[in-house]
Amino acid sequence: MYTEASLRWLEVVLAERFGHAFQLSFSSGRMEMRLKDRQGMITFDSPDPAFHQSRSDFPCFQWLPTKEGFEAPDARSLPAPASHPLTAPLVELATEEAVVHYDVLGLMIWMLTRQEEIGRTDLDEHQRFPATSSHAYRHGYLERPIVDEWLAVLGQIIGRVWPDIALKRHRFSVKVSHDVDRPARYGFQNFAGLIRTLGGDVLVRGDMKSAIMAPFLWLNSRRTHEIQREDPFNTFSWLMDQSEKYGLTSAFYFICGRTDPGKDALYDPEMPQIRQLIRAIHSRGHEIGLHPSYNTYNRPAEIAREAERLRRVCAEEGVTQREWGGRMHFLRWDQATTLRAWNDAGMTYDSTMSYADRPGFRCGTCFEYPAFDVVEQQAMGIRIRPLIAMDCTVIAKRYLGLGSTEAAFQKFNALKDECRKVGGTFTLLWHNSYFGSEQDFRIYSRLLSDEPAALRKKN
């Protein structure tokens, strides 16, 4: 069940969310939540052992907060994963006291630490835990930030027990990032690779214009110290233009190793073209980050080497940053190993936590939060920045398969609106190389804007 370390970590998470230092204690099957130097207490009297196990095979119930006098971010019933049916009423209020018959704090641990995924063997071909194996997908709440929704209710309970305190308010925001798998379509490859790319342009994409330009761009890429402006994957300046237009900062994550030649990048961070690109990004006030190579997710020493390689190149180019973050290549992740590896490599945050096969709230939240190693039962210095949606997850045929369509935009935008409801952050990954049509550019630009709902529907 709860450990001393997990209780102290939960206190930190609650303090970040509500702006007050609550004190938690657990004994005799009861969790008590108090506020220092004040009368009053919130008791959670239904601890659920399922929230401390790596499993997805228990039920999910529904609770309607409005029936008990609470406002809810969402008009629908609130999903309540639990191994036993809910008690009615779920919340009992008295003077300076409340009793909650649901393990809200256990749900937080289970979702935020991804306890569900530890040691699982139902993995996909990239050894990833897929959305389709998750409790959230199986019970239809993957596209809702249920941790944030439950905390919105908990905030109201806090307000009734301690009505004279003001809780921290949060404002909706957007963060965009770009995994630099291929900085150029035609550069960084040999002649045989060029021929394969040309074949794809003509036979698969039907892009004759790019095919005609390809030999020229390929030859120039081997002579110059910059990525050719005409290369279709060179969208870096446009991406930064879009971020600056909407008051955002783009984060570009670079691959700094080659542990699988077939899946990793063809460039090295020391190449003159990449150095120039890094300088250009930094000069415009955007962020440089790490995208560890394919086979590093369970190799901590390799992640540390690649992180140090990136920092060294950046230092040589005069790039200084307050924080260093990034995302795993292919979203490969082993909860028992990868998070600790990021932490030990001295990284500030990780933004891997989304599923490749389905978009949504893998951690149940759209708020950044401090990491906790549930295996070692230890808080860590690194932070988790959940990823809500990735371009290919929604568009590509191998996943949702919505294509570059209005339906794809609406799916992205619906997730964005879920983040808006709870005052969280919509984090979007769009690769610099994932603009195959004008529709992709329009979808991306519209997602960064803050169009009124009526205009979104009209478009």
> pLDDT of 221-278, one tens digit each?
545 566 666 788 999 999 999 999 999 999 999 999 999 999 999 899 999 999 999 9
Range in 119-123, 208-212, 433-437 with the lowest mean pLDDT: 208-212
Q: Take residue 99 and report the two structure tokens written for it.
A: 């009793």
Residue 218 has a pLDDT of 44
- 436 in the same domain as 356: yes
Which residues make Cβ contacts (< 8 Å) with residue 22, sequence separation at least 6?
11, 14, 15, 33, 34, 35
More confident residue, 416 or 226: 416
Nearest to 394 by CA among 427, 359, 441: 359
Cα-based distances in Å from 158 to 123, 163, 196: 40, 8, 61
313 near 282, Cβ under 8 Å? Answer: no
- Is residue 130 packed enough to be buried (19+ CB in 10 Å), middle (13-18) or exposed (0-12)? middle
**Distance separating alpha carbons of residues 421 and 443, to the nearest angstrom:** 21
The reported pLDDT for the residue numbered 104 is 98
In a domain, 168, yes or no: no
Question: Please, which residues have CB within 8 angstroms of residue 295's CB and are 6 or more apart in sequence?
Answer: 259, 260, 302
CATH code, domain carrying 296: 3.20.20.370
Q: Are residues 291 and 433 in the same domain?
A: yes
Q: Which domain holds residue 217?
A: 187-231
- Count the neighbouring beta carbons within 10 Å of the beta carbon of residue 265: 23
Do both 112 and 199 map to the same domain? no
Same domain as 198, residue 73? no
Amino acid 220: pLDDT: 58
Q: Do residues 226 and 265 both lie within one domain?
A: no
Does one domain contain both 226 and 237?
Answer: no
Residues 6+ away with beta carbon under 8 Å from 293: 255, 256, 257, 258, 259, 260, 264, 265, 302, 306, 329
Q: Are residues 299 and 446 in the same domain?
A: yes
149 with 283, same domain? no
Same domain, 401 and 411: yes
Q: What local confidence, expressed as pLDDT, does residue 209 receive?
A: 56
The answer to whether residue 295 sits within a structural domain is: yes
Computed on alpha carbons and rounded to an integer, the radius of gyration of the chain in Å comes to 23
For residues 204 and 248, state if they share a domain. no
Mean pLDDT of all residues in the chain?
Answer: 92
Do 205 and 302 share a domain, yes or no?
no
Percent of the chain with pLDDT over 70: 88
CA separation for the pair 132, 117 (Å, rounded):
12
> Tell me, what's the pLDDT at 453?
46
Query: How would you label 95-105 residue by residue, b for 16+ Cβ within 10 Å and e otherwise?
Result: eeebbbebbbb
Read off the pLDDT band of 189 (50, 70, 90).
low
Helix (H) or strand (E) holding 11: helix 4-18
- Asked if residue 166 belongs to a domain, the reply is no
SS3 (DSSP) at 91: strand
**332/436 same-domain check:** yes
pLDDT in tens, 36-49: 989 999 999 999 99
Query: Number of structural domains, the chain?
Result: 3
Q: What is the mean pLDDT of residues 81-89?
A: 97
- Whether 179 is in a domain gets the answer yes
pLDDT at 371 over 60: yes
Residue 407: what pLDDT? 98
Strands 41-44 and 30-35, bridge-based pairing: antiparallel
pLDDT of residue 450: 76
Residue 366: pLDDT band with limits 50, 70, 90:
very high
Share of the chain above pLDDT 90, in %: 86
Where does the pLDDT of residue 210 fall: very low under 50, low under 70, confident under 90, or very high at 90 and above? low
Look at residue 372 and tell me if it is in a domain: yes
> Is there a contact between 153 and 67 (Cβ–Cβ < 8 Å)?
no
